[in-house]
Amino acid sequence: MFKLRKKAKKICGKQFNFSEYFLESLTLFLKKTFLIFILFQCLNKTPSVRFKNKKLQLLKNACLNFRRFNKMDFFFETINILIITLKKKNSSRLLAEFLASQIKILKKQNFFLIVLKQILYTLLGSNIFSTKGIKVSIKGRFNGAPRARLRTILIGKISAQTFKANINYNSSTAYTRHGTFGVKVWIQEIK
C-alpha cells in the first residue's frame, strides 16, 4: 500500500502514462504467468468539424428553426451526424448506418423522416456546406403497414447520369419486427 502511494506521488510530478501502469498492474495481478499485449487506439485523431465565424453564425441561425424538435430523443444525434456527413467527404456510409439504426429503434418512422427532411432542407439551403445535393431512399413497411413503400428525400441536385459527378453512394439494411428496411444514400459533393 505504501509503494502505491509513492507511485501516485511520482505520477503527479511527471506525465502520466496509463498504458504502462495498466500493464504493470495486470502483470502483478496475474503473477507474471501470462504475456500480455494491449493495443490502445486513439479514435479522435482526425480534426473535428470546425467552422469559421461567419459560417458558424449561419449554422446557429439555421439550427434555431429546429427548436420545436429538441425534445425528441433523436434530435441532437441527428443534427450532429448530418453536420459531419455534410462537412466531411465520403461520409455516406455514416449517414446510411445512422438512418438504419434509427429506423430500427424508432416506432414513429414517418415522423423521423419528416424531421430529417426539414433539417436537411434547411442545412443545405444555408450554403454552409460544399454539398451539391443529397438523396435518401428508404423502402420498407413504415409504422407496420401491410405493404412496403418507398420514401425518397431529394434535396438539391444529384446528377447520376454523368461520369464526371462526384457522387458518394452507400446502402444499409435495418432489421425490424415488421421486416427489413433498405436504406440508400447518395451525396453529391462539389469538386
C-alpha torsion angle, residues 61, 62, 65, 67 (rounded to 10): -80
H-helix or E-strand containing 39?
none
Cell of 87: 462537412
Query: Tens of pLDDT along 120-178?
Result: 998 888 878 888 899 999 999 988 889 999 999 999 888 877 778 888 899 999 998 88
* Gap between the Cα atoms of 122 and 68, Å rounded: 14
> Whole-model pTM above 0.85?
no
At 93, give phi and psi (nearest 5°): -65, -40
Query: Tens of pLDDT along 75-102?
Result: 888 888 888 888 888 888 989 999 998 9
Query: Tens of pLDDT along 7-61?
Result: 544 545 555 677 677 777 777 777 767 666 666 565 555 545 677 777 777 777 7
Domains detected in the chain: 54-189 (3.30.1140.32)
Query: Tens of pLDDT along 163-178?
Result: 788 888 999 999 988 8
Strand positions, DSSP E, 66-141: 131-140
For residue 190, the model assigns a pLDDT of 79
